[in-house]
Amino acid sequence: GDRCFGDDPSIITGIGKFNGKVVGVLGHRKGQNLKEQLSVNFGMANPEGYRKALRVAKLISEKFKAPIISFLDTPGANPTEGAEERGIASAIATNLMEFFNIRTPIIVVVIGEGGSGGALGIGIGDRILMLKYSIYSVISPEGCASILFGNASKSKEAAKSLKLTAQDLKALNVIDEIIEEPYGGAHRFKEETIKNVGDALEKNLIELVKIPTETLLHMRKEKFLKMGVYREE
| Whole-structure pTM value | 0.90
- CATH code for the domain in which residue 22 is found: 3.90.226.10
Count of the separate structural domains present in the chain: 1
- Which pLDDT does position 228 carry in this prediction? 72
* pLDDT lower than 70: segments of the chain: 229-230
- Which pLDDT does position 1 carry in this prediction? 79
Q: How far apart are CA 177 and CA 61, in angstroms?
A: 24
* Overall residue count recorded for the chain in this entry: 233
Does residue 233 belong to any structural domain of this protein?
Answer: no
- Which pLDDT does position 152 carry in this prediction? 85
Does residue 6 belong to any structural domain of this protein?
Answer: no
Q: Give the residue numbers spanning the domain of 148.
A: 11-225
Q: How far apart are CA 53 and CA 102, in angstroms?
A: 12
- Which pLDDT does position 217 carry in this prediction? 97
- Which pLDDT does position 184 carry in this prediction? 84
The helix/strand/coil state of 146 is helix
Are 114 and 75 a contacting pair, CB within 8 Å? no
User: What residues pair up with 165 in beta bridges, in sequence order?
Assistant: 135
Does residue 125 belong to any structural domain of this protein?
Answer: yes
Nearest in space to 163 (alpha carbons), one of 121, 130, 118: 130
Nearest in space to 114 (alpha carbons), one of 95, 134, 91: 134
Does residue 2 belong to any structural domain of this protein?
Answer: no
- Which pLDDT does position 148 carry in this prediction? 87
- Which pLDDT does position 149 carry in this prediction? 87
Does residue 69 belong to any structural domain of this protein?
Answer: yes
Does residue 75 belong to any structural domain of this protein?
Answer: yes
- Which pLDDT does position 188 carry in this prediction? 87
- Which pLDDT does position 45 carry in this prediction? 93
Q: How far apart are CA 142 and CA 54, in angstroms?
A: 31
